[in-house]
Amino acid sequence: MTDDGLAISTYLRLKTLWTGSPATRRKRAKQKPTGSEPFTAGRDPVSAADALVGVASQLGWEQTLAQATLVTDWENLVGPETAQNSRIEKFDDGVLTVRCSSTAWSTQLNFMAVDIRTKVLAEHPDAGVEKITFIGPNAPSWKRGPKSVPGRGARDTYG
């Protein structure tokens, strides 16, 4: 018997004498082999792209990555002139919100929404786009300071 084994058995024997109940020796859980041996199962080389796809699927990033790809591919989907006058602002529960440079562009893209949505679904089906909303530019604010009084407000002269 080794020194460690002798010490453990002596401890268990004394514990039984003092407590009056038999001491049981806990068994250690068997560890699975870590696969550190070369040429064993699970040790096949994997490309970096396959490893990243696996990580993305484990962490649930597929839809987020597809949406990011859609943002970078926006100019190819709608054309350079349209892309100059519109930009993707946000994704919310399947709704893609696009901010346009003017209300005229917003109106025109609303007419083309079905065609744009069809292209988006064909080229980026994993992005989760169910609806596309086009909005005009933000109107400037005339509020100045903490004691501003409500006035006539903005007119329909912008955009």
Position 76 scores a pLDDT of 94
Residue 131 lies in a domain: yes
Amino acid at 86: S
Residue 42 lies in a domain: no
Residue 86 lies in a domain: yes
The answer to whether residues 118 and 125 touch, using CB atoms and an 8 Å cutoff, is: no
Domain count across the chain: 1
DSSP assignment string, 30-48: PPPP---STTSTT-----H
Residue 120 lies in a domain: yes
Position 44 scores a pLDDT of 72
The answer to whether residues 58 and 51 touch, using CB atoms and an 8 Å cutoff, is: no
Containing structural domain, residue 126:
74-140
Residue 60 lies in a domain: no
Q: If DSSP codes are grouped into helix, strand and coil, which group holds residue 159?
A: coil
CATH number at residue 106: 3.30.300.180
Residue 99 lies in a domain: yes
The pLDDT tens digits for 36-78 are: 666 677 667 778 888 888 888 888 888 899 999 999 999 999 9
Beta partners for residue 134, in sequence order: 98
Residue 22 lies in a domain: no
pTM over 0.75: no
